[in-house]
């Protein structure tokens, strides 16, 4: 078998120490790290002497500009119309709430005035009903007393008998009339 690793690179001890530290930090052998570094520089076409990495910066700036233009386009296409629509809906909701509040306030005022009117009317009806009940009771009492007096008159008339004089009958009628007037 032929060994394919026949090339060698010479560098200083200070560079070797740095190379060793980097390899240990990444957990690789120096040979593997060297091969990966060569592949990296070959693929990305970077110049290792360019520490500021202008190519990477330019690439990032270009991507950044693309993102910003995309965001601005999205803002114009989506965000601004959505914001305008939300503002319109918000104004509409405010108008609806104001109209609803004014209508509810008017309705509340009319309901309260109607309740006050009804309360006054109910109080008057209760008062009238109380008076009617009192008068009804008074009428019932009067009827009972009148019936009592009528029965007294009938008994008194029967006790006078058929031979009673007109003066006695008149005296009995006057007595009952006086008692009726006292009711």
Averaged over 74-84, what is the pLDDT?
88
Instruction: Please check the confidence at residue 63 and state whether its pLDDT lies above 70.
Output: yes
Averaged over 133-155, what is the pLDDT?
80
More confident residue, 98 or 172: 98
Tens digit of pLDDT for each residue in 22-53? 999 999 999 999 999 999 888 988 777 776 66
Exposed (0-12), middle (13-18) or buried (19+): which is 46, by Cβ within 10 Å?
middle
Q: What is the 3-state secondary structure (H, E, C) of the chain?
A: CCCCCCCCCCCCHHHHHHHHHHHHHHCCCHHHHHHHHHHHHHHHCCCCCCCCCHHHHHHHHHHHHHHHHHHHHHHHHHHHHHHHHHHHHHHHHHHHHHHHHHHHHHHHHHHHHHHHHHHHHHHHHHHHHHHHHHHHHHHHHHHHHHHHHHHHHHHHHHHHCCCCCHHHHHHHHHHHHHHHHHC
Question: Across all residues in the chain, what is the average pLDDT?
Answer: 85
| Nearest-angstrom CA–CA distance, 62 and 60 | 5
- Two tokens, residue 97: 């709430």
């Amino acid at each position: 078998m032929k060994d394919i690793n026949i090339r060698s690179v010479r560098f200083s001890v200070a560079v070797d120490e740095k190379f060793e530290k980097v390899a240990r930090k990444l957990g690789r052998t120096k040979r593997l790290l060297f091969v990966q570094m060569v592949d990296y520089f070959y693929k990305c076409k970077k110049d290792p002497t360019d520490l500021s990495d202008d190519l990477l910066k330019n690439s990032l700036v270009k991507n950044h500009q693309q993102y910003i233009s995309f965001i601005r386009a999205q803002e114009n296409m989506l965000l601004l119309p959505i914001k305008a629509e939300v503002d319109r809906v918000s104004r509409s909701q405010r108008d609806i709430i104001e109209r609803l509040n004014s209508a509810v306030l008017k309705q509340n005022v009319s309901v309260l005035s109607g309740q006050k009117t009804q309360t006054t009317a109910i109080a008057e009806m209760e008062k009238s009903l109380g008076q009617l009940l009192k008068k009804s009771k008074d009428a019932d009492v009067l009827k009972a007393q009148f019936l009592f007096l009528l029965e007294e008159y009938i008994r008194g008339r029967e006790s006078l008998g058929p031979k009673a004089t007109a003066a006695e009958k008149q005296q009995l009628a006057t007595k009952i009339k006086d008692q009726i007037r006292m009711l």
